[in-house]
Structure 1
Amino acid sequence: KEKNITYLFIAHDLGLVDLMCHQVAVMYLGNVVEWLEHGRIAEQCKHPYTKALMGAVFKVDFKPGEKIEPLEGEIPSPLDLPPGCPFASRCEHCTEHCVQVKPELKEVEHGHWVACHMFD
C-alpha cells in the first residue's frame, strides 16, 4: 500500500499463495471459483476445487504411508466448456443442476465469494 504496487502471483501451491497474497482468487479452467482474503484458505475454503488444492499442499510433517488423493474425472476442453459448472465432471458433489447451470460467484461470508450451487 505504501508504494502503490500491485502484483499478480500465480501458482498451484495454495499454501505459498496464502503467504504471499492479500487476496486470493482460485481459478478452474479460466473461471474464478472462489475469492477470499489471505489467512483464510486452509480453514475456511469452501469450493471443492479449492479443498482439493489444499489437500495437495506439501506438508513438512508428511508421514510415510499418508495418501494424497488425486482428483478423479475428465477435465473438459477449455476450448469447449460444458454449459454448467466447469468443475462438474470432477466434483463429488455434482448434481444435475450443476451440469446444466453455471454457478455465479456469491458472497457466503464477508469478503468470501464462492461459485458453487452447494451455497445457493
Structure 2
Amino acid sequence: MPRAATTSDTFNAIAEPQRREILELLKDGERPVLDLAKELGIPQPSASKHLRVLREVQLVRVREVGKQRLYGLDARGLRPIHEWVGGFAEFWNESFDRLNNYVQELKSEAQKENADDN
C-alpha cells in the first residue's frame, strides 16, 4: 500500500522531527518564519517548506500583519493523532492494572514469609 502524501496526512507530516519542533515552538504563540528558522538553525526556505506542509494538513495557520506573516499552531489538526493515541489508553491502563496486581501479590508473599520467619 503506498504511503499517503506528506501534504495530505497528519501522521506523515509530523513524522519529520523539524516539523514537530516547529509545532512545539508555536505552542507558545505566533511567530514569523525567520524566528522559527533561526530557532531551528535552518535556512528560511527550509522553514517555509515545513510550514507549508503543516498548513496543508491544517496544523498551522497563518495571519498577515502588514508585510509580515505570523504562523500559529492550529491544534485542531492534531485530533486524528489524539484519537489514535487515545485508543491505546485502555491497553496501557489494563497493563498497569496487571502490573499493580502482580506487585501487590509479591508484597503479600513477602509479608507472609516475614511473618513465618518471626
Which interval holds the TM-score relative to the shorter structure?
Answer: under 0.3
Q: Answer with 1 or 2: which has the greater Rg.
A: 2
Higher strand share: 1
More helix by share: 2
TM-score normalised by L of structure 1? 0.21
Q: TM-score, normalised by structure 2?
A: 0.22
